[in-house]
Structure 1
Amino acid sequence: MQPMPAHRRPKLSDAAGVSAGGGDDRLSALPDDLLIHILLKLQDAPVAARTSVLARRWRRVWALLPELHFPDGTDSDGIRAALAVHDAPAISLLSVAAIKATPESVAAWLPIDACRLSGVLDFRNRGTMDETSAASPLKLPCFQNATKVVLDLDSIGLTLPPSGIFTRLAELVLTSIHLHGPCSISDVVSSSRCPSLQRLVVSSVKGLDKFTIHSESLLELVLSGLPGLHQLNVVALALKDLAVRGCFTDALNRGQHIANISAPQLVTLDWKSSYDPSSVQLGEMAHLQQLTTQYLIVYGQYVFSAHNRHCLMLLQRFDHIRRLVLYLVYAPLQVNGRFLMEEMTNFPNITSLTLNVVACSHSFGASSFHVLSMSSGVRELEIRLVDLPSEHEALASVCQSGCICAEPSNWETKELVLHCLKEVVISGLRGTEHELAFVKRLFNWTTVLKRMTVNFRVSMTESKAKELRQQLLSFSRPRICMKFLQHGKACSFD
C-alpha cells in the first residue's frame, strides 16, 4: 500500500496512543497506513466508520480509506454523508449493494463519487422496481478517471451522459437497465469517448434496438438477453472475443434483423442467436480459433428443424476451426417427432470438439455418433453431461421402453474410426445404462487414444464411483491412461 500523503492525514491529538478512557491503547499507536490496512479488512464502510467511537485517534482514520464497501440495504443518506466527509484524495473502489433503490436516492450520492473515483464503481440494486422508477431515469455522470464501472440496476431507468470522455475506463458492464435518450449507448462506448475500453458487457437491457460501436481498443464484447435488438454494427479491429446470446428475437419474429461484424483479429465467437447469411455479415475472421453455436434440438417436429437451421448455416460459414463447442438438447420427445440430426450433412474441419449434452436421461448415442462421424479428424474430445436448470426440470420427459431416442439404432453396430483422437474428457457421468453404452462404443471407435479423464457427478457416492471405475477400466485398453475425478480431485479408492 502506498503511504498516505502527509498533507492529507487528519490532525491527530498529540496524545495519540491514549484512549478516550485514559488507558494504554497500543493499537492506536500504529501509523495511519497500518490502521487503514486493518479497517480495509472489515469490508464494510459503516462498520469501519463506527470504529471512531473507540478513541480520538480513530475518529477520522476511516475517512482515509481508499476503498468503501456499503453492504445490502445501506441507506442512501448514509452513503451520501459518508462520501461527503470522506477525506482520501481518491477512491479506488466504491461498492454499493442496494435494495429497491430509486433514481432519486442514487442521484443523492452518485455525483459526489464521480469526481474522485479513480478505480472501480460496482453498484448493484435488488428488488422489483415499479414503472415510475424506470420512467424517471437516473442520470449517469461521466466518470473520467474510473477504470471499471459495473451497473446492475434491476430495471432502474438510466440516461447516459451526453458529453465528457471516460478517459481511463477499461471495463463497462451494464445489466438489467432501461435505457432512455437522448444519448445512445453507441455514442458513449466508441473510441471517441471511451478510448481505453477493452471489455464491454451489455445484458438484459431494455430500450436498445440499435447498437453500433467503433472501437480501436475493445478486446471483448458480450451482448446477451437483448431480444429487441434488430440492428448491430461492430467495427473493432483489435477485438478477440465476441459473444452474442439471445438477441434479435423480436426482429426475427418480424422477419428481419441485420448484423455487420468487422473484427479481423477475432479468436473466439460465441453466437447463440439466430443466424442467416443474408442478414448477418461476419466479415473476414482468419484468426478464429473457437466457435460456440446455438443449441441443436435432437428430436422433434418441423418447428425445431427450422430452429436448427440457423446453427447449421453458421457451421457452413467456416471451413476450419480449431475448437467447436456444440449443444445437443433433448426437448420433450413427441410421438410424431423425428431424428433431426440427419439434416447436419457437413462440418468444418476441427481438431477439438466439446459436446454439451442435455439428454434428460435419454440415450444420446445416435446424436453423438452422427456428430463424431463428421469429425473423424478430431484430436481432443470433451463431453459434458448437463442437467436442465431446476426451473425447467418439468420439461424433461421420462425415457421408457420403445422411446424414440433409441432411433436410429445403427450407431450401436455401425463402424466408426476416430484415427486422430488422443484425449477424451467426460464430465458429469452418473453411470446410467445409456452413458455406459456410449462410453463402451467410444473405446471401440478410437485407435490411438492415450488419455481419458472421467469427472463423476458431484452427488455420486464413493461406493458408486468405485463401481463405475471398475466398469470403465474393463472397457479400456492397457495403453490408455485412465484418470477419475470427483469434486475436481482425484478419486481415492483405498
Structure 2
Amino acid sequence: MEHPAIRRRGAEDHISGLPDELLHTILVRLPSAAAAARTSVLSRRWRGVWAHMPELVLCSGSPTPSTPLLALLDSINAALNSYAAPTLHSLKIEVSVVDQWDVPADRIAPWLRFASQRLAGKLRLRVYLKEDPRRYGDIKEELALPICERATEIDIGHLTGFVFRPPPTGSFSALTDLKISCTQMAGGELGRVVSSPSARSCGSSSLYIMHSNFLGRLISSTRLMERYDSAKELIISLTLYQEIAGYVTFLQEMDKLPICGSLVINFVANHHALSAVMFHLLRRCSCIRKLKLFLDQSGPPKKRSCSVSGCPCLLPENYRLDGIAFDSLEEIGIKFFTGSDEQEEFMKLLLSRCNTVTLKRVDITVPLAPVSSEIMEVVERIRSVWHPNRKTQFNVHAKPLVS
C-alpha cells in the first residue's frame, strides 16, 4: 500500500501556490474572461482570481436556440459586475451577428460606464449586425460616450444604429489612438473632447478615418482628422460610388489631412478615376515615407472606373503634377493589382514624382497565383519608366489559389 505522505506529495498543486500576478499571466492567455472564470472550479485558491486580471475579453458569440441573445448579454454584464480590481488595462467586448433592434442603447451604456470608471488603457467595442436596410434609415438611438480620462486607445466600430454623443464637459486626456469605423459620431462635440494637448498629435500611433457614401447617406469619421496635427500612420478607408455629389463631398472632406509618416489607403469600393482620387490624397501627404494601397477588388479589371459624364474625377487638371514631389517616399506597396490601364497609369505617374535616391522598393501583389504573363508585361512597362540604373527593388508577389 502506498504511504499517505507519498500520495500527498504526488497530489501537491504547485500552480495554485503561485502568486496572483503569475496566475493572471496564465489566465489572460485564455480566449475569454468566461474561460478564465471557469477556472474557479479547480480549487478554492482559484476562486475570484480571474476578477483581478488586467485584461478582459468578453465575446458573446452568435445566439443559438440553447443560448439566446439575452443570456449572452447578461453574461457580459455579470462579468463586468463581478470584476473586482480598481483598474483594468484592456477591455474588449464583441457581440456577433445580431439584429440592431435586439441590442438597444441601454444594453451598451453600462459597458461604456464601466470603461470610464475602471479602464486605464485600451478599449475595443464591436457589435456586428446582420444586414438590415433599417439600419441606414433615420431612426438612430443616441448613446452617451462617457469621458474615459485614463483610456489611451479607443476602437469603436460597427454600431451603425447609434449616434454617439460625448458629455458637455471633460476630455480624453490620456488618449493617443482613436479609431471609429462604421459608427456615427456627433462630430463637433467629439472634436472638443479629443482636442486636449495630448490628443493634438498622435505621432507615436495610428489614426484611422473612413469615408463612405452608401445609399446616398454619408457615413464618415473624417472630422476626427481636423483635431490632429500628425500621426505616425494614417489609415483611410474609402467607399466611393458612381455619383458626382458623393465625389465632391469626398474632395471637401479630404481637403486637409494630418502629417503622417506612413499612409495606408483601403478602397472598399471606388467607382472614380484611380489617379484623380489618389493624387487628391497624396498632394496632402507628400512627405510620407511609406505608401500602402489596397485596391478595389470589385471594380472592372480593364475599363475605366467612372463613366459619369461631367464627373470632376475626369478633369485633366487632376492629372497635372507640377510642383508635387515625393522626396521622402521609401516604400510603395500595392495589393490586389490586376494590371488595368488605370492602375498602370497611376503607378507611372507616381514613380515619375519619386526621388531616385530615396525610393528603395516597390511591392506589387496580384490576386492569384501564378502571375499571368499579361500582368508581368504591365509591371515591366511600369518598371521601364524607372531608370534601370536606379537601385530600387521591384517585387511581384502572388496570392496562391486555395486548393
2:327 is aligned to 419
Provide the TM-score with structure 2 as the length reference. Answer: 0.67
Structure number with greater Rg is 1
Give the match for residue 356 of structure 1: 266
Number of the residue aligned with 1:479: 390
Question: 1:198, 1:483 → 2: CA distance?
Answer: 42
- 1:318 is displaced (CA, Å) by 1.4
Is 2:271 the counterpart of 1:367?
no
Check if 1:245 corresponds to 2:136: no
Aligned to 1:177: 72
- Which residue of the partner structure matches residue 452 of structure 1? 361
Query: 2:202, 2:79 → 1: CA distance?
Result: 27
| Alignment RMSD (CA, Å) | 4.6
Shift of 1:380: 2.2
Equivalent residue letter for 1:367? V
Q: 1:214 to 1:385 in 2, by over 3 A?
A: same
What is the CA–CA distance in structure 2 between the aligned matches of 1:201 and 1:401, rounded to whole Å? 39
2:136 match:
none
> When the two structures are superposed, what TM-score results if normalisation uses the length of structure 1?
0.56
Among 108, 118, 142, the alignment partner of 1:208 is 108
Determine the C-alpha separation between the residues in 2 that align with 1:367 and 1:329: 11
Residues 96, 275 of structure 1: alpha-carbon distance in 2 compared, 3 angstrom cutoff:
closer
- Is residue 2:120 matched to residue 1:221? no
- Where do residues 227-376 of structure 1 align in structure 2 (5 Å cutoff)? 230-237=143-150, 239-247=151-159, 249-252=160-163, 257-258=165-166, 262-272=171-181, 273-280=183-190, 281-284=193-196, 285=199, 288-289=202-203, 290-297=206-213, 303-304=216-217, 306-308=218-220, 310-311=221-222, 313-331=223-241, 333-334=242-243, 338-343=247-252, 344-359=254-269, 363-376=273-286
Distance 1:473 1:398 in 2: 20
Of 342, 348, 370, 1:440 maps to 348
| Distance apart, 1:8 and its partner CA | 6.4
Distance in 2, Cα, partners of 1:430 & 1:209: 45
In 1, Cα distance between equivalents of 2:44 and 2:314: 61
2:3 aligned partner? none
Aligned to 1:7: 8
Task: Within 5 Å, give how 1:16-165 maps onto structure 2.
Answer: 113-116=39-42, 143-144=50-51, 150-155=58-63, 156=67
Identify the residue that residue 461 of structure 1 maps to in structure 2: 370
CA distance in 1, matches of 2:86, 2:11: 37
Q: How many residues align?
A: 343
> 1:204 & 1:114 partners in 2: Cα distance?
24
Partner in structure 2 of residue 194 of structure 1? 85
The code of the aligned residue for 2:211 comes to Y
1:369 Cα shift? 0.9
User: 1-side partners of 2:44 and 2:273: how far apart?
Assistant: 55
1:29-88 CA-partner distances (Å, limit 9, x unpaired)? xxxxxxxxxxxxxxxxxxxxxxxxxxxxxxxxxxx9x9xxxxxxxxxxxxxxxxxxxxxx
Q: Which of 307, 314, 319 is the matching residue for 1:407?
A: 314
Give the 3 Å change call, closer, same or farther, for CA 258–428 of structure 1 in structure 2. same
- What is the CA–CA distance in structure 1 between the aligned matches of 2:44 and 2:398, rounded to whole Å? 40
1:382 equivalent to 2:273? Answer: no
1:340 Cα deviation (Å)? 3.1
- SS of the residue corresponding to residue 326 of structure 2 reads coil
Is the CA contact (8 Å cut-off) linking 1:199 and 1:221 kept in structure 2?
yes
Report if aligned partners of 1:292, 1:325 keep a CA contact under 8 Å in 2: yes
2-structure distance, mates of 1:370, 1:409: 13
In 2, distance between residues paired with 1:119 and 1:261?
41
1:326 CA displacement: 0.6
Compute the displacement of 1:292 (Å).
Answer: 0.2
CA distance in 2 between partners of 1:432 and 1:119 (Å):
64
Q: Is the 8 A contact 2:61 2:95 kept in 1?
A: no
Contact 2:62 2:95 in 1 (8 A): no
Letter of the 1:459 partner, please give it.
L
CA distance in 2, matches of 1:111, 1:348: 44
Q: Which of structures 1 and 2 has the larger relative contact order (alpha carbons within 8 angstroms, sep 6+)?
A: 2
Post-superposition CA distance 1:446-490 (Å, at most 9, x none): 23542232232241423435434422321223324123142589x
The aligned amino acid for 2:89 is Q
Report the 3-state secondary structure (helix = DSSP H, G, I; strand = E; otherwise coil) of the residue aligned with 2:145. strand
